[in-house]
Structures are given as structure tokens and as C-alpha cells.
Amino acid sequence: MKPTKLAKTMSWFAVLLWMIVIFTFSAQNATDSSRLSQKTTKKVAELSIKEFKKLPKDSQFKIIDKLEVKTREFAHLLLYTVLGMLAMAALSGYKSKAGIFIAFAMCALYAATDEVHQIFVQERGAELSDFFIDSCGAVIGITFTLLLKRIIKFLMLKLQKIQFRNRPQIDPN
């Protein structure tokens, strides 16, 4: 089933909107970015480490400090996983291999330009490791979307078979 013009437009709008979200995070200076990461890491620690709030403040800080890098890496991965999924949805009218290639190239190019952009942000810089994490996120998003499409296609075929089997039989008499 081919996507409608409205669906295509909305898909590309979602891609653009998500790129703006990524850009907004990247445009934060190092102090604001670090503050957000620490706040997020603290919330994750509170939810996942039993009695975290009862630990001494210096112990809490050490845990947050150790986990913050992983939180930032996961944020990169998650942001670009979503971008990969949205890109695949927007490119759903393309042949499978072409759509996959274009979606990945688009995400990787955006990740590269995002890192270059951070050179111009106060106290920030480009990190090759972030580019690789972003690209891996895009691959995860693209792969997840392809798997989801296959599952939906499989379920639709099953549903059609069930409906065909259960249709009323016409009595020849």
C-alpha cells in the first residue's frame, strides 16, 4: 500500500521536527548540557538503585558522575534511533535497499553536521565517538522499522487468511 501525499508530508515533517529537537540539544552550552545530563542521570539512579536517596550526598555524586557518560551516550543513541525510524517511515515509498541506504546516509550526514555544529557552541566540541554512537542509533532505528514492517505484513497476511477461511460459504443449491 502506497502512502498518501498527506502521510508523506507528515512523515517528512516529523523528520524535520526531530532534527530540530536534536539541534536544540546540541545548541546547549556545555554547562546547560551537563546540568541536564546530571539531572537525568540522578533521576535514573533514583529509579534504578534501591535506596539511592538515602546514600550520603558524596556517594550519590560519585554514582551520578560515573553514570553520566553512559546517560549521554544513551541519549545520543536514542535520539538517532528515533531519527532512523522516522527517516524510514518518510522513505517508505522507496525500494527497500534504496530506502535503507538513503535513510542511513541522511542520519549519518546529519550526525556529522551536528558534531561540526557543536564546534561553534560555547564550551562544546565535535566528538568522533558521538558520531559513531549516533550512526549506530540510526542503524538500530532503521532495523527496528524494517522488523516492525515485516511483523505487520506477516500479521496482515494471517488476518487475511483467517478472514478468507471464515467467510460465509455460498450454497450451490
17: pLDDT strictly greater than 80: yes
Taking the C-alpha atoms of residue 161 and residue 40, their distance in angstroms, rounded to an integer, is 47
Residue 11 CB neighbours (<10 A): 19
Per-residue pLDDT, averaged over 42-47, amounts to 93
The grid coordinates listed for 14 are 516529523
Taking the C-alpha atoms of residue 166 and residue 93, their distance in angstroms, rounded to an integer, is 33
Taking the C-alpha atoms of residue 61 and residue 89, their distance in angstroms, rounded to an integer, is 41
The amino acid occupying position 17 is L
Contact predicate 126/119, CB 8 Å: yes
Q: What is residue 135's predicted lDDT score, i.e. its pLDDT?
A: 98
pLDDT, tens digit (0-9, with 9 covering 90-100), for 146-165: 999 899 989 998 888 777 77
Please report where in the chains the cell 524510514 appears, as a residue: 88
The grid coordinates listed for 67 are 553514570
Predicted TM-score (pTM) of the model is 0.85
Instruction: State what percent of residues in the chain have pLDDT above 70.
Output: 94
Contact predicate 115/129, CB 8 Å: no
